[in-house]
Amino acid sequence: SKPGMSQPMLTDDAADWNLAVPAEFAKALLANRLRLAATAASPSSRVGHVTPGCLGGAAGSAISVLGNTKFACGVSASVVELSAAGTAAAAAGCHPLLAAGVVLNADLPPVCSRAFRPGPPSDTAQALTVQVSDALAQSGCLDAAQLTVGPRHRLQLHVDAVCLSADGSLPDACLLAVSAALANLCLPRLVVPADAGHDDSNSGPSVRSTAAADVGVRRCPSGEKFRPAVLRPGSAVICTSFVAIDNDQLLSVPDGREEALPGAAIVRVFTAGGGDLPVCVVSVQMVGEAASELVGRCCREAVERHAACLAGPLAR
């Protein structure tokens, strides 16, 4: 089936019943252990679908589709000059992701859902930005050394994730797009002026030195490109959301309606790893309460889904 359009099919009677008494319909579905979400259609739809490198204007880009939730992520880079005093002060006070040189912003524009109005970023958007930034910072998969350009300069990455369609499991789709976009990054090689006492060995992989001392950092005239491995090769940071009903049923990768079910607890498990790094659970965030064995089950299933994502949509 096409990854772009997924809408579960109901018979006419069932659709009428759903329209008239949606709460009862949902309870009846759960009692029979059925799910209506687009992500429940097949195991591959639960893992998602990623299209890397689709946006020409960005250095690295990806669009992720998870059921009816779609995110577009674009990464662009700029060169920042470091001053010794500034670095120390900045590293002390700011978010660890910012200290590593990655500025992340998740945007939920009005086009993705009726719930979002134009204006300053909504609470959901701000919470999503914080969740995704924390997951990336704590993952241990980011390699900040790849971003150094010479002794005094550094690349700063701007990662913008824009939601195109919101239907539950927002951090899942967002992190899928961000991991794929960071893996897809392709930047022009840079030329740094060589000054006296400058040592070539610690200039970082993005640099060639030149003898001209009065020119700033600029692109290599041959126009060659390089791919910084900001996320360690083969690794990714992935979130898996679950909805726990009555301490009994577990719905993985819920859609908007399932997340809003009354009496349900949402568990979001952030996992990181792959390639040379072991897959581990970075954090677990919950809304509501659930029994500890359910949370344990969530973590185990999240680790399995992480492996499936690395083998499937994020495979390179």
Cα–Cα–Cα angle for 310, 141, 285, rounded to 5 degrees: 80
Smallest distance from other proteins to CB 133, Å: 16
Query: How many C-beta neighbours within 10 Å does residue 41 have?
Result: 17
Q: Which is nearer to other proteins, 55 or 264 (CB)?
A: 55
In whole angstroms, what separates CA 149 from the centre of its chain?
A: 25
Among 27, 35, 158, 189, binds other proteins (CB under 8 A): 158
Smallest distance from other proteins to CB 195, Å: 29
**Hunting for tokens 């794929």 — which residue is that?**
180
Among 28, 79, 80, 164, binds other proteins (CB under 8 A): 164
75 is a site residue for other proteins (CB under 8 A) = yes
H helix runs in the chain, sequence order: 12-20, 22-31, 43-47, 84-93, 96-100, 123-138, 170-183, 256-259, 292-311
Cα–Cα–Cα angle for 236, 238, 241, rounded to 5 degrees: 170
35 is a site residue for other proteins (CB under 8 A) = no
Among 26, 148, 167, 169, binds other proteins (CB under 8 A): 167
In whole angstroms, what separates CA 273 from the centre of its chain?
A: 14
Task: Give the β-pairing of 153-165 and 190-193.
Answer: unpaired
76 is a site residue for other proteins (CB under 8 A) = yes
Within 8 A by CB and 6+ apart from 247, the residues are 290, 291, 294
Interface stretch with other proteins, choices 49-57, 143-151, 184-192, 213-221 (CB under 8 A): 49-57
**Hunting for tokens 């429940």 — which residue is that?**
40
Interface stretch with other proteins, choices 55-63, 90-98, 194-202, 211-219 (CB under 8 A): 55-63
Smallest distance from other proteins to CB 99, Å: 20
**Hunting for tokens 């899928």 — which residue is that?**
176
4 is a site residue for other proteins (CB under 8 A) = yes
Smallest distance from other proteins to CB 8, Å: 10
Q: Which is nearer to other proteins, 72 or 237 (CB)?
A: 72
Q: Which is nearer to other proteins, 179 or 203 (CB)?
A: 179
259 is a site residue for other proteins (CB under 8 A) = no
Q: Which is nearer to other proteins, 68 or 139 (CB)?
A: 68
Inter-residue contact 46 to 305 (CB < 8 Å): yes
57 is a site residue for other proteins (CB under 8 A) = yes
Q: Which is nearer to other proteins, 104 or 142 (CB)?
A: 104
Interface stretch with other proteins, choices 66-74, 183-191, 192-200, 212-220 (CB under 8 A): 66-74
Inter-residue contact 65 to 4 (CB < 8 Å): yes
Q: Which is nearer to other proteins, 93 or 119 (CB)?
A: 119
Residue 229 is encoded by which pair of tokens? 């491995």
Q: Which is nearer to other proteins, 10 or 220 (CB)?
A: 10
Residues 109-138 contacting other proteins, CB under 8 A: 109-111, 113-114, 118-120
3-state class (DSSP) for residue 124? helix
Closest CA to 177 of 130, 123, 236: 236
228 is a site residue for other proteins (CB under 8 A) = no
Closest CA to 283 of 234, 227, 241: 241
Interface stretch with other proteins, choices 106-114, 141-149, 171-179, 277-285 (CB under 8 A): 106-114
Within 8 A by CB and 6+ apart from 304, the residues are none
* Residues in touch with other proteins (CB under 8 A): 4-5, 7, 55-58, 61, 68, 72, 74-76, 78, 107, 109-111, 113-114, 118-120, 158, 160, 162, 164-165, 167
